[in-house]
Structure 1
């Protein structure tokens, strides 16, 4: 265990009382941080999914439009013409782009709220509170 003497600044902040509003702000920050982490994970998954669909679309460019390829719908595979599969993939990519855009907006919003709370909480508690991941 690492022991050290508290500096005068640390002593002052260590004795800062935690009010109900402070505790609510800390709990709100914690909730936002958890949500932010989940949103980043979901965003990463959607971006990976979009990359896969883009790769498949590129591969289909080499195929003849009348060829049949398997396309997964739910749990089943259906043979469709390459042209139809391209159209379906383009629609899926468009939907994922919209989802990514929405997720990025929510991530920015959550990050902004967290930054505001950090300013308030660090101003009051200084080094005696850690709000970093």
Structure 2
């Protein structure tokens, strides 16, 4: 793990619970996907200055399973911005054994569209609002 990876801040940190386990004893892929969608939506909303909707998952790869006692950190960053949409790269790391082991478990590229009050596409500002 590089110094930059250690210093970056996750958008979400969450620990799955017993109801999130699939028949193989690992965490449901759909649960992980929902965490990624939430984190990506936060970043896209901040970048666009308002509501967004997920319109595509262009690439999604499950690299390793998530275990019940893993603490997952979800990282997201805007990769590109179009007129009304943004591509957000999302990565999930699992921390095992109280953080002694860190494993990249999944990554993906999600597309969000900025929407107005009537859920119609709206332009994304050319300049990024200041992120908190």
TM value normalised by structure 2 = 0.24
- More helix by proportion, 1 or 2? 1
Larger RCO, structures 1/2 (Cα 8 Å, 6+ apart): 1
- More strand by proportion, 1 or 2? 2
Report which of the two structures shows the higher radius of gyration computed on alpha carbons: 1
